[in-house]
Structure 1
Amino acid sequence: MTEQTRQKTAIVIGAGVGGVATAARLAKAGFKVTVVEKNDFTGGRCSLIHHEGYRFDQGPSLLLLPHLFAEAFHDLDTSLEAEGVRLIKCEPNYNLWFGDGESFELSTDLARMKTEVEKWEGKDGFERYLGFLQESHRHYELSVKHVLRKNFTSLLSMMRPSFLRHLLALHPFESIYSRASKYFWTERLRRVFTFGSMYMGMSPFDAPGTYSLLQYTELAEGIWYPEGGFHKIIEALVNVGERLGVSYRLSTPVAQILLTRDSGRATGVLLSSGEQLSADIVVNNSDLVYAYNNLLPPSTTATALSKRPSSCSSISFYWALDTQVPALSAHNIFLADEYRESFDNIFKKHLIPEQPSFYVNVPSRVDPTAAPEGKDAV
């Protein structure tokens, strides 16, 4: 078989959502693909916990940008529906609670938002809300076109004229909170429209204003949930990959990424068992810092990455309740009265705040299969 006719091979390290999606795309492009995964399950951080009829998502609890998921499956000559994935729209998006028992309902329903905003900021407040939507819409559209759908392989690639001319319009040098303050005059609504930075492990007082695009996609396109849990999307991508010939090797940890003598190209992987696998392409979907420090030779890049500050993680509890809590919707945010102080404690003092803001997800509210009848998974 000549080099021209030999089927190209690829190894993907990690069967998380990025790994299984990449594997399917590579197989669609004609590669013979092997996915190696250290766990005995697929999904990585997007896996499930099952307990006596209750189901909990370990990773994401809400799905944004549904059209991008639809696009990924379309590129693989199928669809979410054809693969048995049903997305359920969550309405309202959130119920937000303040310390005095007052609440705010975030929704894609413009009439409902008019009522909610005017309750706190009067008739002019709704006009300012529309202005906030306009700005966050601009952040969203520019980011998708000039950032999300582009590769940034070097510092020079960030200097593209097409990107630079829109830089100031993205407000990267102002915080989300400062931008929201230009449209919302009450402290409460400033909290309502900035808490989303918590999802990125960032304080709204430090996160770039660009990230109001997250609020925009929630308010304009809605929040969704895959019936049966988020792993349904992983299962669908794995099934598509298998049909395209992808081989998934679970319980198969990688000890090393093999390189050419000049370290210029990856040639395969060495498994912890001692087995070597060769490939034309190696795609690493494991944690970046881990890969540089454990799978690749020592380098200045590995040292530099290890010294970089990490984003904040979270503490999660999974509760199987023997009753339902009707006051809770699918997504509930409880906002600290001392909003800024709570974030400063976390990000500047590295302390657990006395009154933290926290998120309560009740998947059984939107998908009854997450809990036994008459009960809630929280």
Structure 2
Amino acid sequence: MNEKKVIVIGAGVAGLASAIRLQHAGYSVSIYEKESMPGGKMHRIDQDGYQFDLGPSIVMMPEIYREVFELCGRDPDDYIPMEKLDPMYSVYFRDRPDEPYHMSSDMTSLMETLESFGDEDSQGFFDYLNEIYKRFIVARDHFIQKPFRHFSDFYNPSTLKQALKLKTFDSADHFISKYIKNDRLKEMISFQTLYIGISPFNGPSLYTMIPMIEFLYGVWFIKGGMYTMAQSMERLFLELGGTVHYNANVEEIRIVNEQAKGILVNNQDIDADYVVCNADFPYAMKHLVLDTKAKGKYTDRKIDNMKYSCSCFLMYLGMDKKYDDIDHVHNFFFNDNLEQNLNDIFAGNKLTDASFYVYIASKMDPSLAPEGKDGLYILVPVSDLSTAKYEWNDETIQYYRDYVLNSLKSIKGFEQIDQEIVSESYTTPIDFAEKFNAYNGACFGLQPTLSQSNHMRPQSKAKNCENLYFTGSSTHPGAGVPIVLLSAKIAVEELLRDDEKTVAYAHDSNKQRGNDHDDRIANSV
């Protein structure tokens, strides 16, 4: 059995998944987490008898969630029991507050919604699905699950041929406009690029595969909310024999002679053979990797000049009633001009006309709120801290709070919402920066622009330092829970690849010296 020691920095989604994979592979793995609980941004808010997911809330591609448990021979249903949602979500527009569109992954139900926009757009929708599905297969098989360690991993005839098939130079909105003319239908199947922190009006067209995944594979709910995933991964890791250290603030990744040797945590040196960093990559390169040579091209100046995703303002409201007039768990509220709204976000303007999202998890799991009551999770996409032209303070919080509540009053069931709140708290971009080390408070990490995607995005294996690996939303392949779970898989595969080389070298050297000990070393991987 491999006795090598691995330290994982951060118990976020990708950190937990990396730790599980490595512990299962026979390494001795320890997680060091600055907070008192697992999950990172997949935290939980416990508030006056109400429980809220702090950040992620929508489950897509459930097979990727399940894979980490199946890898270890566990039944995922024993850890993360899921239920498919149908409809997936409702979309409200300001001028028809009592007539939301219900978006479904069931074809019969979906056709009712599509045909309300006319036959031409209904046909166009399926033409869009056909085209983006072809690109999705290319991305899945040749890019999303593949590391780009070397220049030649991307710049070779085979990969370049596949890259041309992605047709990434168009924007998401412009691409969908080729097939669908109705502005509202376009908005309902393009806003999902915000799931990874980029606007559909300037994000690459490839990211319209996100709504495609929803329509073809569905949206799911995990009993207990998303935090159940974090808790269950921690549980599995501990069952495998791993160790978690909470309230352990990592201050530095110790690098000696171009090799990661461990970490400095709470002023104590901890040695390791390998370090896997789940802290946000820009934060880690600026504050944890202090060795100038190990930074490589990611100098402090470059980190500051990179493009960051939007951030979010979140409200967690404990209510004194059930909202039976609201049909679904996931609800999106669009303003009159989504394009202007998103342009303002990425220009740093204080929003005067915002769109937002309301998540009522207690509709699916009543145990998340006191009996007979609901909890409302409300998310407003806003500018990251480096872009915002305004300060986050009590006045800003009150401004957005009032805007959201006044907007909701036009919706049947929410008419008296401001009088029904019995408990409330908030998460702002400053909280994401200070509590979760999200650089610039950008809760989706680096923006997935063309110049910050695939081979041009930070990779799992450190370029200028051995035995150091990165995972999480700012690394390849990007943001979103399923995708960061894939980043964990890539990081672990990269580490195993290097360790096999090391063991193979030791095996050959020992064999030349006639040392029979080599077989045990080689077989330990």
What range is the shorter-chain TM-score in?
A: over 0.9
| Matched residue, 1:288 | 281
Relative distance call for 1:162 and 1:78 in structure 2 (3 A) is: farther
Question: What does the per-residue CA deviation read over 1:239-265, in whole Å, with 9 as the maximum and x for residues that have no partner?
Answer: 22112211111111111111123xx21
Question: What does the per-residue CA deviation read over 1:14-71, in whole Å, with 9 as the maximum and x for residues that have no partner?
Answer: 1111111111111111111111111111111111011222110001011111011122
Aligned partners of 1:115 and 1:331: how far apart in 2?
Answer: 19
Which aligned pairs between 1:227-242 and structure 2 lie closer than 5 A? 227-242=223-238
Equivalent residue for 2:304, pick from 292, 303, 306: 306
The alignment partner of 2:42 has SS state of coil
Equivalent residue for 1:45, pick from 41, 44, 67: 41
- Contact kept, 8 Å, 1:117 with 1:126, in 2: the verdict is yes
Residue type at the aligned position of 2:338? Y
CA-CA distance at 1:160 after TM superposition: 4.0
| Matched residue, 1:201 | 197
| Matched residue, 2:471 | none
| Matched residue, 1:14 | 10
Residue type at the aligned position of 1:359? Y
- Contact kept, 8 Å, 1:268 with 1:277, in 2: the verdict is yes
Report 1 or 2 for greater relative contact order, CA contacts < 8 Å, sequence distance ≥ 6.
1
Aligned partners of 1:347 and 1:288: how far apart in 2?
Answer: 21
Q: Does 1:96 align with 2:96?
A: no
Q: Does 1:279 align with 2:272?
A: yes
- Contact kept, 8 Å, 1:136 with 1:215, in 2: the verdict is no
- Contact kept, 8 Å, 2:11 with 2:38, in 1: the verdict is yes
TM normalised by structure 1 equals 0.93
The alignment partner of 2:83 has SS state of strand
Equivalent residue for 1:118, pick from 115, 127, 130: 115
The alignment partner of 1:282 has SS state of strand
Equivalent residue for 2:355, pick from 344, 354, 357: 357
- Contact kept, 8 Å, 2:2 with 2:26, in 1: the verdict is no
Q: Does 1:260 align with 2:267?
A: no
Question: What does the per-residue CA deviation read over 1:104-140, in whole Å, with 9 as the maximum and x for residues that have no partner?
Answer: 22110111111111111x2233222111111222232
Residue type at the aligned position of 2:360? V
The alignment partner of 1:190 has SS state of helix
Identity of aligned residues (%): 30
Residue type at the aligned position of 1:266? A
The alignment partner of 1:301 has SS state of coil
Which aligned pairs between 1:147-166 and structure 2 lie closer than 5 A? 147-166=143-162
Aligned partners of 1:145 and 1:302: how far apart in 2?
Answer: 32
Residue type at the aligned position of 1:95? S
Residue type at the aligned position of 1:270? L
Aligned partners of 1:38 and 1:113: how far apart in 2?
Answer: 44
Give ranges in structure 2 of 5+ residues lacking alignment.
377-525
Residue type at the aligned position of 1:227? K
The alignment partner of 1:151 has SS state of coil
The alignment partner of 1:180 has SS state of helix
| Matched residue, 1:186 | 182
TM normalised by structure 2 equals 0.68
CA-CA distance at 1:353 after TM superposition: 2.5
- Contact kept, 8 Å, 1:9 with 1:31, in 2: the verdict is yes
Equivalent residue for 2:244, pick from 243, 248, 264: 248
- Contact kept, 8 Å, 1:94 with 1:106, in 2: the verdict is yes
The alignment partner of 2:279 has SS state of coil
- Contact kept, 8 Å, 1:88 with 1:366, in 2: the verdict is no
Aligned partners of 2:338 and 2:31: how far apart in 1?
Answer: 44
CA-CA distance at 1:78 after TM superposition: 1.3
Aligned partners of 1:203 and 1:327: how far apart in 2?
Answer: 31
CA-CA distance at 1:6 after TM superposition: 6.7
Aligned partners of 2:238 and 2:229: how far apart in 1?
Answer: 14
Aligned residues: 368
Aligned partners of 1:118 and 1:184: how far apart in 2?
Answer: 12
**RMSD (CA atoms):** 1.6
Aligned partners of 1:365 and 1:359: how far apart in 2?
Answer: 15
Residue type at the aligned position of 1:346? I
Superposed structure 1 runs of 4+ greater than 6 Å apart: none
Aligned partners of 1:12 and 1:194: how far apart in 2?
Answer: 36
- Contact kept, 8 Å, 1:139 with 1:212, in 2: the verdict is no
Aligned partners of 1:94 and 1:34: how far apart in 2?
Answer: 39
- Contact kept, 8 Å, 2:121 with 2:182, in 1: the verdict is no
The alignment partner of 2:129 has SS state of helix
Question: What does the per-residue CA deviation read over 1:152-208, in whole Å, with 9 as the maximum and x for residues that have no partner?
Answer: 224442224333223233231001101111111111111111111122221111011
Aligned partners of 2:246 and 2:107: how far apart in 1?
Answer: 47
Equivalent residue for 2:52, pick from 56, 81, 89: 56
Which aligned pairs between 1:51-90 and structure 2 lie closer than 5 A? 51-83=47-79, 85-90=80-85
Relative distance call for 1:155 and 1:366 in structure 2 (3 A) is: farther
Equivalent residue for 1:270, pick from 264, 269, 287: 264
Aligned partners of 1:267 and 1:171: how far apart in 2?
Answer: 42
Residue type at the aligned position of 1:211? Y
Residue type at the aligned position of 2:88? N
Question: What does the per-residue CA deviation read over 1:275-298, in whole Å, with 9 as the maximum and x for residues that have no partner?
Answer: 211111111111111111111124
Q: Does 1:36 align with 2:29?
A: no
Aligned partners of 1:29 and 1:277: how far apart in 2?
Answer: 22
Aligned partners of 1:67 and 1:339: how far apart in 2?
Answer: 32
Greater CA drift, 297-306 or 314-323: 297-306
| Matched residue, 1:214 | 210
Aligned partners of 2:63 and 2:270: how far apart in 1?
Answer: 36
| Matched residue, 2:506 | none
The alignment partner of 1:167 has SS state of helix
